[in-house]
Structure 1
Amino acid sequence: MSSPPKFTLESTGEEVAATFVDEIKGKNVLVTGTSVNGIGCNSASIIAKYANLVVVTGYNEERLKLTEEFIKKETPTANVRRLVLDISSLSAVRKAAAEVNAYPEPIHVLISNAAAAIGPFKLTVDNLESQMATSHIGPFLFTKLIANKLLAAGTPTYVPRIVYVSSEAHFHGTGVNFETLGKPDKEKYHPLETYCQIKSAGVSMAMEVSKRSGGKINGYSCTPGVVLTNMNQKPESLEWMQMIGVMGPDGKPDYEKFKWKSLSQGAATVIAAAFDPSLNDAPGTYLTEDSVADNTKRAAHSADPAQREKLWSMTEELVGEKFIF
């Protein structure tokens, strides 16, 4: 692995993208979960300044139009394509994946950012727990179904990438609860524990997809840091954010206990994971909030090979699809 550029907590997505502009040029990038005032939208907007194509996703056209308007306000010449994707629904995932597979272009980078808000127990149309379905099971199926689009972007000098947006929260707990993964139990559900589980799953999948693809696709995971987004301001999330002290009693960020980052600073690590060429020889790497590759900050339970393999095989069973490269 070559020497990586030096970034800090204050580095912005614009700075990181400018550093890797040669890697971004000509690339087609798909970002899931791109609502305005979110890390996905901000990452897509910055990448769109240089990329050949940026595909943005959302669960309805109205939200997608707002995202496209946001991006084109910054870069009027940006090539933006909207994709309706309700990633919590397996049938909706299949429909969106079919649309992507009909694109004439390959996909060089998939940024798996979509997530459900931390909140009360809720089942999806597939009778899966909402957070787990939106942040792990749906994305797993989507990735599987469009894998050929990623593989088509590979060349002798370029390996396609998948970036899993995780969190330092993945360190808490013991990883995914396999007992409730496909059999949600309201009595055993805890919003914050489930959040930690899905962030652990992202770290595991980055390593496992790298291993199983045999070098055809490189997976990376990252934590963007503590960022004020549309997600953690939702009413159903606020009480839990206050419980762990991230948000104060007044519902505003606690700047004394936590180092808050702007949306652009949060996007910095995502963009580094997607384009930093120093990571080429280190698939499965975890990037910290200052955009530094540091696998010592990766939880042992998330990296455990047996846990990763079990999570992969159980998720295949849940979606009814074998993920074979």
Structure 2
Amino acid sequence: MAWSAADVPTQNGRVAVVTGANSGLGLETAKVLAARGATVVLACRDPKRAAAAAGVVGKQGGTAELLALDLASLDSVRAAAAELRERFDRVDLLFNNAGVMFPAYGKTADGFELQLGTNHLGHFAFTGLVLDRLLEVPGSRVVVVASLVHRFARGGMNFDDLQSERRYSRIGAYGQSKLANLLFVYELQRRLAAAEARTVAVAAHPGCSSTELTRHLPAWMQRASRVLVEPLLAQPAEQGALPSLRAATDAQAQGGQYYGPRGFQQTRGAPQLVRSTPVSYDTAAQQRLWTVSQELTGVGFPV
């Protein structure tokens, strides 16, 4: 039988942090967790939209808390992590969900290419700064949301031009950032397992889901997507959130696994175990990216 939101067990007494929870996949994830009784921390960049989302999430039955977090600024990441640690002595679930997709070339406040800096480096730093709050909780999980577009990084991480300063492609840079998400989660799980931690790291992707991520595309590409892609392949955001929810709450899920839709080319359908591309399982690349990420962010990990 297909796994659905109805299969999410009770989350009473649990604390879940969801980055980018003001809309799309993050909001749908937060709504389900709140409906199961969790305290859900909406870690968002835009305070007005976050407050509106909190109103929606709060109606589901759980508790919605707000946390200001701009993943494109390490100062904001450090401040958010410090505030989270002050307000909560435990975190059961961390969803690294927020992201940007296909913007024109730009840089974060710290000079990183915008997509890599937001989608990977910001989450890497935030995870490292709050991980000890999860390590104290049996059954806690870090869920990293990747993407089908990681397949575009067929040659692996371009460590020679990590910040896309020599050549920039909107799709190529996004694919690199999503491959980085997978390299990160697999290396994190290896370290957690070596430390015999009670926390595991799991990956997920939403397939082709209707969200606001396409807002950075040129207008003609947005129109083409709405006319040609979404009617054939896209699924609603609430369906796209299911792989992340399964990765976080299914009792059978294990560290280092990857969940995605089971339908055509993993674009839509109920969540199931899937495989990422061979380059994502390259342990040397995982370890190299980890080292580079620590150097760029200045953030270490307790494992």
Whether the aligned pair in 2 keeps the contact of 1:140 and 1:315 (CA below 8 Å) is yes
**Secondary structure of the equivalent of 2:133?**
helix
Counterpart residue identity of residue 144, structure 2? Y
Whether the aligned pair in 2 keeps the contact of 1:128 and 1:184 (CA below 8 Å) is no
Q: Within 1, Cα distance between the matches of 2:244 and 2:130?
A: 20
The answer on 1:164 being equivalent to 2:137 is: no
The answer on 1:34 being equivalent to 2:31 is: no
The answer on 1:152 being equivalent to 2:136 is: yes
The answer on 1:137 being equivalent to 2:121 is: yes
Counterpart residue number, 2:83: 99
Counterpart residue identity of residue 140, structure 1? F
Counterpart residue number, 1:3: none
Whether the aligned pair in 2 keeps the contact of 1:131 and 1:198 (CA below 8 Å) is yes
Counterpart residue number, 1:115: 99
TM-score by length of 1: 0.84
Q: Within 2, Cα distance between the matches of 1:291 and 1:249?
A: 27
Counterpart residue number, 1:202: 181
Whether the aligned pair in 1 keeps the contact of 2:131 and 2:302 (CA below 8 Å) is no
Alignment map for 1:1-325 (pairs within 5 Å): 6-7=1-2, 15-16=4-5, 18-22=6-10, 24-36=11-23, 38-73=24-59, 75=60, 77-154=61-138, 158=139, 160-173=140-153, 174-181=155-162, 183-185=163-165, 187-214=166-193, 215-216=196-197, 217-232=199-214, 234=215, 236-238=216-218, 242=221, 249=224, 251-252=226-227, 254-255=229-230, 258-279=232-253, 282-289=254-261, 290-294=270-274, 297-325=275-303
Instruction: State the 1:250 CA deviation.
Output: 7.5
Q: Within 1, Cα distance between the matches of 2:158 and 2:34?
A: 37
**Secondary structure of the equivalent of 2:36?**
coil
- Alignment gaps of 5+ in structure 2: 262-269
**Secondary structure of the equivalent of 2:35?**
coil
Q: Within 2, Cα distance between the matches of 1:85 and 1:320?
A: 18
When the two chains are superposed, the root-mean-square deviation of aligned CA atoms in Å is 1.9
Question: In 2 relative to 1, CA 85–208 (structure 1 residues): closer, same or farther, beyond 3 Å?
Answer: same
Instruction: State the 1:78 CA deviation.
Output: 2.2
Whether the aligned pair in 2 keeps the contact of 1:268 and 1:291 (CA below 8 Å) is yes
Determine which structure has the larger helix proportion and give its number. 2
Instruction: State the 1:117 CA deviation.
Output: 3.1
Instruction: State the 1:238 CA deviation.
Output: 4.2
Instruction: State the 1:314 CA deviation.
Output: 0.5
Whether the aligned pair in 1 keeps the contact of 2:8 and 2:36 (CA below 8 Å) is no
Question: Greater RCO between the two (CA within 8 Å, min separation 6)?
Answer: 1
Displaced runs of 4 or more, over 4 A: none
Instruction: State the 1:291 CA deviation.
Output: 1.3
TM-score by length of 2: 0.90
